[in-house]
A and B are shown apart, each in its own frame.
Chain A
């Protein structure tokens, strides 16, 4: 099995260094899909349904087509003719300016037959509620996971705690909206897409347009955030391509902020009824959960329970509930922040009933050896021993408290291909059809190659974000780094082997006699027979060397443990929670770049705070649409709300590369809720923990 060289011999990996495209980003030169503007480009837009459920009876685009400046229109973009959420695609148009486009959207005459709808989970679950799909019940069949003997487990328990928790629908909210620019050259189609998967979009568009895959090329050089919402091809890409074809000109179709909120993904909500049993000895004996979640018209609204802790007997019964809302999409650690929010709170409730310190209780029930260490490290860093011993005992209106919660994640690496080209002048290009969401992929494509070839990063050019490059998967689920880095290393190793053969031939020896020292190659035991990198490459004469490689086992791992501790201050006069400090202990394997890794962890924590305190998709049960579909009303965390975040990287480089994107966003909400309880003596079982919920809960307590 392949292995990384020891950390102490690394020039780049394990260290902190700036991203390669940094200068482009700070100068405004980095071009995103939104910034593409080829000559003659038209602007495209999608007309979406204002109704949460309706049959499309008729669409008339004759007035649209008469408008001067309109170059293409489509009335057949909806596959079935029955829309199931407000914001679903109904028609599309392309025009020479955005102003004409706005007018054109008003000129579509659409006759709908509106249908009854259910936009929230409670309504959809009621007996006799309007069905989202005529042929399916709103509530799915139960999905059951179980292990051990639940009854026996609860029978053994000395203490049983039951609690109900709720989490909200969260929307990904990348700063760059979803969208595509489609350009035809004869029968060949090029799409610039703000995507997490250039190859995936290529396949999706080729399928949707029934085109041969080799006629479609998808490019994404820079993209303004995705967090899972841009993993899959969107209808807008194929729509842009069809508009472009009809108009005979490139079409750029970026979603507006409202459509972005309504139609391209979200994190499902949850209703979770939990029961936990434990013995006086502090060992959990049994756990049961009944959970519901809505992924809108989609599925997979699951909550990953039980999570983290070592539970001998459990049963989890889950139901997906259809509602007339946009389908969920994977969102940073799907199913996990919801699960940890409830699990780590019921663990705290149990610890209190048992009269145990929550830390001690966790250590007793957590089988993961890494997390056993991490809990202790985090507790030490936050000053757990100095916490408020009795919940709510701070005098005065401002109350402080501490809480903790766990993190976990599973996926590792998978098949990725790459190609390295070495030019006679010694310069190197690495091609890989992955993409950089800003997580630093482009940078480690260069640094892993430079590390293995013994070069400076400036000698290596990383070429990614293009489906013309060797195939790599979607960037999601923290799989990118463990997929791509091993493929680059493998390709670089093979490049060295190919160069060694060339050098061997030059010296008239066998390749096995060649020996590398950084980028210099020598014939073993003949120090005079040596070639520096430039001399070696010059042997290529005029033919660049091209070498392909792929993901191999041994260089990456799956399975992540982590934890977070937070300190909050709750203003009991106003109900406002201020997160004052977060200690994030993250399990990282071989760190490819300490700077981008820490950036990722910081960002995950901030999204977790935002999930815990601010974000909430609010649906109007009367109109059937979202009432806060803009950044003025859907608030995400800003710089002022961001506390001190101490990132502790628990790295075990021998494990190889592990993805770090998902885990840091998992524990934050649960840890904050536990800290709020410690501060006030009031447990908040629903997020977001807004001032109104806090204040009303405090009022109820007294």
Chain B
């Protein structure tokens, strides 16, 4: 019924005839009986199911950790899937050894996933592995028993061992050094060659029309994970033309399948949004960022989608394609109502385009959630301000979680244009913004609280971007805000 999916699983070549929409986690545990990959939450939150996906690109294989509970099997065509069993050697690897000797495994249920992610970071950074990298790797993992102090200590030991690799280079150079140093099994050496030999069809469905498109799947599998294995799914990531970031005529283009991680790592994006990496760190774990796509976040249409809220203030437009037909649409006009899009079902968002912010523009993103990181926001907000000496030329302001759609605050923006940046201006703007929103009370906070946050976040934006003009301390003392 399904075209076979060919890929490497640890040391072996696999030909899977299971549905392409099947979860890799289920495939590992049920067909392959690889039980080191655990099922914790099946929502990408706990990381117990983390596995590595290696992809051939430009002659080398690049490995990224992902949560296999949100990964469709069809995605693996022509790739190398590595589970904790695939990292085992005669003796413990430095990562495994460090976790044992620091007592960083307690019940141990979360441990194999953590081994996978720490090893992935080591492959990425080689001798340059740092404490920041350890945090980076741990970001997608929950431990309910001992927590993270001993894991951070274990990370220190891995950093020490990594230093012995001597140098850090490209991931494939790091991998070669790790193999030579006994930190990674020998078979990794042969993987690029073996992957080159695997042929795979571009669509796992053959000629049948797909019922559902999957980009990163990080929202889709949480929302309807049970139905997807039975459906004809089209794994969009098999279309590399929808990936990547480039600049053309003063505009930044990003393929809709560009992952959060790829987007934030791109120099063009970092130039346009200098703090992009810190925002990303708040929004999703490394493991999820390796899967979540820009297009997916936009089409999912959550009123609180972090990436959508950010893109809204960048004057972003979308390219939509239906077969050969293509059209462009501003992102701010894409949302018609709660989860209602100005898009035909057969249309696919293929590209996101935004002008490079001018030199006098400043961008900021704020988010408040119950847990600081990796939580759905109560309210999030982005702003782009273009200003001369004290006087605003143009403002773009967006807010999430305060309306049925990711909201662009037109009236507030109009009010702020050509105003001087003063505390009083912002107090007035906040009052307008509070009228422009229509929050409801829900799990993430009361309507009253969301109104209050709207004002506070506006202050936070200006305080961060124009610290010389808007000093929160003075605001507090003046009694203008609390």
Contact = CB atoms under 8 A, between A and B. Distances in A.
User: Chain B interface: which size bin?
Assistant: 35 or more
A630 B449 CA distance: 24
A283 B51 CA distance: 59
Query: Which residue, of B38, B138, B145, B370, has the highest number of chain A Cβ atoms within 10 A?
Result: B145
A131 to B, nearest CB: 28
A18 B106 CA distance: 11
Give the interface centre of B37, B88, B106, B107 by most chain A CB atoms within 10 Å.
B107
B166 interface: no
Contacts of B108: 21, 24-26, 30, 222, 224, 438
A672 to B, nearest CB: 15
A225 B95 CA distance: 23
Contacts of A649: none
Interface in B445-476: 445-446, 448-449, 452-453, 456-457, 459-460, 463, 472-473, 476
A574 B41 contact: no
Interface in A429-485: 437-439
B443 interface: yes
Interface string B39-61: 11111011010000000000000
Given A397-B473, A696-B448, A26 B148 contact: no
Nearest to A642: B148
A596 interface: yes
Interface residues of A, number: 82
Contact of A175 (B83, B101, B144, B226): B144
Contact of A26 (B40, B105, B222, B473): B105
A627 interface: yes
Contact of B146 (A29, A35, A603, A638): A603
B112 interface: yes
Given A639-B138, A645-B149, A173 B100 contact: no
Q: Which of A102, A175, A397, A630 has the most CB of B within 10 A?
A: A175
A224 B38 contact: yes
Nearest to B374: A638
Contact of B35 (A28, A98, A225, A596): A28
B162 interface: no
Given A27-B36, A603-B106, A630 B378 contact: no
Interface in A372-424: 395-397
B96 interface: yes
Contacts of A603: 106, 143-147
B384 interface: no
A633 B445 CA distance: 12
B382 to A, nearest CB: 15
A636 B213 CA distance: 32
B476 A397 contact: yes
B472 A573 contact: yes
Given A23-B96, A26-B100, A439 B106 contact: yes
A580 interface: no
B135 A640 contact: yes
B139 A614 contact: no
A175 B142 contact: yes
A254 to B, nearest CB: 8
Contacts, number: 259
A174 interface: yes
A12 to B, nearest CB: 14
Contacts of B443: 618, 627-628, 633
Interface in B136-177: 138-139, 141-152
Contacts of B143: 175, 603, 639
B13 interface: no
Given A224-B107, A576-B372, A692-B446, A599 B145 contact: yes
Nearest to B43: A632
B83 A28 contact: yes
Contacts of A425: none
A275 interface: no
Contacts of A574: 366, 368, 453, 456-457, 460
A44 interface: no
Contact of B373 (A395, A437, A618, A638): A638
Interface in B22-39: 26, 29-30, 33-39
Contact of A576 (B41, B368, B449): B368
The 5 closest A-B pairs by CB, nearest first: A28-B36, A438-B107, A224-B109, A25-B108, A22-B100
24 contacts: A16-B103, A22-B101, A32-B109, A35-B29, A98-B30, A175-B38, A175-B40, A175-B110, A176-B109, A225-B145, A227-B144, A573-B460, A574-B457, A574-B460, A575-B368, A596-B106, A598-B103, A632-B41, A632-B43, A640-B139, A640-B281, A688-B370, A691-B378, A695-B452
Interface of A: 16, 18-19, 21-32, 34-35, 37, 97-99, 102, 173-176, 222-225, 227, 257, 395-397, 437-439, 572-576, 578, 595-596, 598-600, 602-603, 605-607, 613-614, 618, 627-628, 630-633, 635-642, 645, 688, 690-692, 695-696, 698-699, 701-702
Given A27-B36, A175-B107, 16 more contacts: A25-B111, A34-B35, A224-B109, A438-B106, A573-B472, A575-B368, A599-B106, A603-B144, A630-B41, A632-B376, A639-B148, A640-B281, A640-B373, A641-B371, A692-B446, A695-B452
